[in-house]
């Protein structure tokens, strides 16, 4: 996946989300290739986009957004 020469977004995440990103990066890494948390985020974006194009995850995504909004409101 080519990286763009573009200013990246700075997103505030919770400690739990950071721990999840770290765990996923560790699980995806191998001795031959380390996977960064940024790469995990890029992979997740691609997976969401693929699901949206196929129409499979629209309902799931809306539910996830509601859950995230509820967490932010606390």
The per-residue pLDDT for range 5-51, each reduced to its tens digit, is 666 778 888 898 899 999 999 999 999 999 999 999 999 889 888 87
Q: How far apart are CA 74 and CA 70, in angstroms?
A: 7
- Identify whether 4 is part of a domain: no
Sign, Cα dihedral of 51, 12, 8, 38: negative
Does position 68 have pLDDT exceeding 90, yes or no? no
C-alpha 51/C-alpha 38 separation (Å) is 20
pLDDT of residue 69: 84
Per-residue pLDDT band at 4 (split at 50, 70, 90): low
Tell how many helices (H) and how many strands (E) occur in the chain. Answer: 3, 0
Q: Output the pLDDT for position 26.
A: 95
* Inside any domain, residue 38: yes
How many domains are there within the chain?
1
Answer yes or no: are the C-beta atoms of 15 and 8 closer than 8 Å. Answer: no
37-54 vs 15-28: helix crossing angle, rounded to 10: 90
Does residue 59 sit within a domain?
A: yes
Residue ranges making up the domain that contains 47 = 15-72
* pTM attached to this predicted model: 0.67
Give the separation between CA 46 and CA 32, rounded to whole angstroms: 23
């Amino acid at each position: 996946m080519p990286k763009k020469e573009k200013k990246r977004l700075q997103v505030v995440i919770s400690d739990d989300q950071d721990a999840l990103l770290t765990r996923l990066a560790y699980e995806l890494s191998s001795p031959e290739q380390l996977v960064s948390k940024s790469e995990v985020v890029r992979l997740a974006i691609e997976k969401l986009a693929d699901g949206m194009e196929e129409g499979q995850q629209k309902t799931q995504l809306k539910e996830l957004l509601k859950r995230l909004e509820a967490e932010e409101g606390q």
